[in-house]
Amino acid sequence: MCSIGDDIYDHEEEKTIPVTKSLKLFDLCNKCRSEKPRLVLRTKDAYCNNCFLSSTVHKFKAYLGKSHLIQKNDRVLVWHQIGHPSTSLLHFLRSGLDLSSSKKLQFVPIILFIDDQYHLNLNERLNLLQKAKQEILSFGFQFNTVSFADYATNPKNLNKLFFIDIPQISELDKQKLEDVINKKTSKTHANDIKVLIRRQLLTDAAKYYQCKFVFTPEISVEVASSLLSNMSLGRGPHVAIDAGFCDDRDVDVKIIRPLRQFDMKELAFYNKINNLEPLSVRQKSLNPYSSVQDLMKKFVTDLQINYPATVNTILRIGDKLSVDRDCERFCSLCKGQLSVINDQLTSHQSTTFSHLVSTEKHDYTISRQDRYQNIFNVFDERVVDKENLCYACSNISDNVKFN
Ligand SMILES: [Zn+2]
Ligand SMILES: [Zn+2]
């Protein structure tokens, strides 16, 4: 087992020593060269509070503006979540909208909170919804909410799914979700299915609120770990849209990750300096070895502690990947582009065929040709019938009843 990073937790005191030392090493802020530094980022960049705040806001706007995607008066759905990144995002948006200069943000954000914390009891969930509402209102935005379980159960019923106040919630939501995602499926596949449902929910919500864009609050570690998880789940062909700045697989709605370049330390400091308290809830105990996604998150988080530049390297690799746009066929579950069909079987199809030949029971009372035909029929059922699914979705499609 890889032990890099594990020993960090064995020496909690030592972990803080380099930070304290490095702050003392910097006499002046790297940027203005006049104020005393208050924090050190990436173990080398020391900033005073003012320089840190202005460079953080500039980084957000520059990253968003570089794409030139969003035009004046465009409506943007913002997925609001628990934690520092979402709170920073609301603050970036509110302060950008309130500017009077030409740098004022020109688009219209619509904030949506998804009720999906089913490990909490009913009172805790209601309390969370209440706090989410207060937080969103405190930034001068309207509160909108939707139940993840209700959407997963009946995604076509959009008119009855969205609320502008705390809706009635039910103890049965967890059960409803289990009717959609087979509870016997592995945690890795269940996580993968939830990501797909959530993406579809955000896309449908954007259409409901007449938004052309969705902002999601993933930061660098989350994007890097989902990039590696998706690679290992066989979602390699779609990594560029799954982990890039913009997911444009839907023709009408683009999903944008405006915080993709930030790490948690930056946003936690940003919130602290601005006296912002993010939403928090009781976390469920997490075993990092229980799913591919959890393991990748631990792996990338440990990398971030020891070698901060590595996460950016993973992100830059993601930026260099692109989607094969030659095929006009799309996966019916994840809506990603499918590989171009040619006469040759793909490596996945070949492996399935040889697995079938070596594991199926053969009936030796019939001719060899008939035996071959029987195997071929089973192969057709298992592979060709799933040819409207990409490789990764064909692995999970039996465990989800999602329309
Ligand atoms: Zn400064
Ligand atoms: Zn797919």
Q: Mind listing the pLDDT tens digit for each residue in 123-146?
A: 999 999 999 999 999 999 999 999
Say which residue, 362 or 333, is predicted with more confidence. Answer: 333
Q: Name the pLDDT band for 384 (thresholds 50, 70, 90).
A: low
C-alpha 41 – ligand 1 centre gap (Å): 13
Q: For 218-232, 256-270, 336-350, which range has the lowest pLDDT when averaged over its residues?
A: 336-350
Q: What is the CATH number of domain 49-320?
A: 3.40.50.620
From the list 148, 139, 131, the residue with the least C-alpha distance to 202 is 148
pLDDT value, residue 12: 40
Mean pLDDT (the chain) is 87
Residues of each domain in the chain carrying CATH 3.40.50.620: 49-320
C-alpha 33 – ligand 1 centre gap (Å): 6
C-alpha 60 – ligand 1 centre gap (Å): 18
C-alpha 389 – ligand 2 centre gap (Å): 5
pLDDT value, residue 80: 97
**pLDDT over 90 at 44, yes or no:** no
pLDDT value, residue 86: 98
Instruction: Assess contact for 141 and 87: CB atoms under 8 A.
Output: no
User: If you average pLDDT over residues 324-332, what whole number do you get?
Assistant: 79
**pLDDT over 80 at 45, yes or no:** yes
Per-residue pLDDT tens digits for 64-118: 888 889 999 999 999 999 999 999 999 999 999 999 888 899 999 999 999 999 9
Q: Name the pLDDT band for 307 (thresholds 50, 70, 90).
A: confident
Instruction: Assess contact for 126 and 169: CB atoms under 8 A.
Output: yes
C-alpha 293 – ligand 2 centre gap (Å): 17
Which one of the ligands is nearest to 199 CA? 2
pLDDT value, residue 250: 93
Q: Which residues contact 371 (CB under 8 A, 6 or more apart)?
A: 362, 363, 364
C-alpha 86 – ligand 1 centre gap (Å): 26
pLDDT value, residue 2: 42
C-alpha 261 – ligand 1 centre gap (Å): 21
What the block records as the tokens of 36 is 């005393």
C-alpha 398 – ligand 2 centre gap (Å): 13
d(Cα 260, Cα 262) in Å, to the nearest integer? 6
pLDDT value, residue 341: 62
C-alpha 262 – ligand 1 centre gap (Å): 19
Which one of the ligands is nearest to 400 CA? 2
Measured CA to CA in angstroms, residue 346 lies from 283, 286, 385 at distances of 42, 37, 15
pLDDT value, residue 9: 37
pLDDT value, residue 20: 47
C-alpha 30 – ligand 2 centre gap (Å): 46
pLDDT value, residue 54: 94
Q: Name the pLDDT band for 5 (thresholds 50, 70, 90).
A: very low
pLDDT value, residue 25: 65
Per-residue pLDDT tens digits for 162-173: 999 999 998 899
C-alpha 87 – ligand 1 centre gap (Å): 24
pLDDT value, residue 339: 72
Say which residue, 341 or 53, is predicted with more confidence. Answer: 53
Which one of the ligands is nearest to 196 CA? 2
